[in-house]
Amino acid sequence: MDLVVSVFLPVSLGIIMLSLGLGLTVADFARIIRQPRAVVAGLFAQVVLLPIIVYGFVIAFGVSGELAFGFMLLAASPGGVTSNILTKLVGGTLALSISLTGLISLLSVITVPLLVVFWAGLFLDTGDATINVTGLALTMFAITAVPVAIGMIIRAVATGLAGRIEPVLSFVAAVLFVVIVIGAVAASWDVLVANWTTLAPMTALMVLCLLALGWIIARVIGLPVPDRAAIGMETGIQNSTVAITLAGILHAGPEALPVIALPAAMYGILMYLGALPGGYLMYRAARGAA
């Protein structure tokens, strides 16, 4: 089990983040200056409002303890490659989606440890006493920021190589994502069965609300429809692999994938129940605006 937590999960997440970095360029981050309103709106929706909305769902559905902390761990995690793919499919601004994914992934080195300590103190008996903020920040840096930076460097200095290995790494990343999600669900199967009627509708409805949240914020500040779709997807689609990996690292028990990983694993499956109808509405709006 120690090998799963210390080797398999971090390496798998590193590969997934490396595949993300291969799709990023310095120009993607330069959009922060060229499109400040869109980027600030995306950051505000995902970093500030998203955790508040998820907390509201946790309270409304009566979820507590480790499951509640698991949902908040998911809310603290950045977006992932899936949000970029879905943004493209619904006709959103792919460049904005990629920029937000990359920026928030790098910011997560700071935001995730702080949020984890806060939510642990609220929902777990141990509170924040057992969480080393500096150590967690260094871990986040090693398993997220470093692979992304390596991917960007490869893309910059060896564009041809990046183009050849990106599809392979994307496929490997997708396989690893499926394996991690299935493993987390299997590890907490009894808890899932006992709470299915609460967790399943909560997760699907939560995704729909978060998609709408991103869209509405972008609309309020007057962004075009494609930008609304990008921000909506970035807000609604989180990187559940980050949350599952952190759950394994934070847990001190013998289980490789503890109960706190279950919400992220469920989300990895059920997010599509919310993303499909929400994405369809975004697609129709983007087609109508074209």
The residues, any chain, with a CB within 8 Å of residue 233's CB and separated by 6 or more, are 83, 86, 87, 90, 92, 97, 211, 214, 275, 279, 282
Nearest to 205 by CA among 154, 275, 144: 275
Range of the domain at 138: 2-283
DSSP string, 97-142: HHHHHHHHHHHHHHHHHHHHHHHHHHH-TTTTTT--HHHHHHHHII
**Does residue 23 belong to any structural domain of this protein?**
yes
pLDDT tens over the chain, length 290 residues:
455 545 667 777 778 778 877 877 777 667 667 778 888 999 999 989 999 999 999 999 999 888 999 999 999 888 777 888 888 888 888 888 888 888 888 888 888 888 888 888 888 875 444 566 777 788 778 877 888 888 888 888 888 888 888 888 878 877 877 777 777 777 777 877 887 888 888 888 898 899 999 999 999 999 999 899 989 989 988 888 888 888 877 775 555 567 888 888 888 888 877 778 887 788 788 777 65
**Cα gap 48→38, rounded to integer Å:** 15
**Does residue 160 belong to any structural domain of this protein?**
yes
**Does residue 264 belong to any structural domain of this protein?**
yes
Q: Are 78 and 104 in contact (CB under 8 A)?
A: yes
**Does residue 57 belong to any structural domain of this protein?**
yes
**Cα gap 102→93, rounded to integer Å:** 15
**Does residue 232 belong to any structural domain of this protein?**
yes
Q: Are 232 and 282 in contact (CB under 8 A)?
A: yes
Q: Are 78 and 16 in contact (CB under 8 A)?
A: no
Q: How many independent structural domains does the chain possess?
A: 1
pLDDT of residue 129: 47
DSSP string, 208-244: HHHHHHHHHHHHHTT--HHHHHHHHHHHH---HHHHH
**Does residue 288 belong to any structural domain of this protein?**
no
192: CATH: 1.20.1530.20
Q: Are 116 and 182 in contact (CB under 8 A)?
A: no
Nearest to 66 by CA among 111, 122, 115, 113: 122
**Does residue 249 belong to any structural domain of this protein?**
yes
**Cα gap 13→173, rounded to integer Å:** 8
**Structure tokens of 28?**
């993607």
What is the reported pTM? 0.82
Coil vs helix vs strand at 92:
coil
**Does residue 289 belong to any structural domain of this protein?**
no
**Structure tokens of 269?**
């499956």
pLDDT of residue 275: 79
